Amino acid sequence: MPHEEKVILQLSLKLPQLLSAGDATGLAALFDDELEAVDATGSRLDKARAVQRLLQMPLQGIKVTDIRITLFGDTALATGLLHLPADAAEQHCCYSQLWLRRGEHWRLRGLQLTPRR
């Protein structure tokens, strides 16, 4: 796996860790200032609302599988499957992440969550 793909993989795995920890500062640092997100309800969120909404979700014990990464120069697409714990049964969400390289750092510029039935 090329170095930049490893970086995106690490960032993709860091995101659920930050969510599980309730780390708003860490999330804000990972998100691009112009983040555009679409949550599982179809609501469009900017950076501030995305941090707030994501931290309201019960995300202890979240698992990520089936990660695929495609690089396009200073842009990367990561897709995968989130396994979210729920009261009675585990829920699954497919996700897409759009990462942009900003100088020496990669930032999450786009995020879409889609419930899997």
Q: What percent of the chain has pLDDT over 70?
A: 93
Q: Residues 6 or more apart from 77 whose CB is under 8 A from it?
A: 69, 70, 96, 97, 98, 99
Q: Which residues of 23-40 are buried (b: 16+ CB within 10 A; e: fewer)?
A: beebbeebbbeebebbbb
Q: Residues 6 or more apart from 90 whose CB is under 8 A from it?
A: 83, 84
The mean per-residue pLDDT over the stretch 19-33 comes to 92
Q: What architecture (CATH level 2) is domain 3-116?
A: Roll (3.10)
Q: In the chain, where are the structural domains located?
A: 3-116
pLDDT at 100: 97
Residue 86 has pLDDT above 70, yes or no: no
Q: Report the mean per-residue pLDDT for the chain.
A: 89
Query: Do residues 30 and 109 lie in contact, with contact meaning Cβ atoms separated by under 8 Å?
Result: no
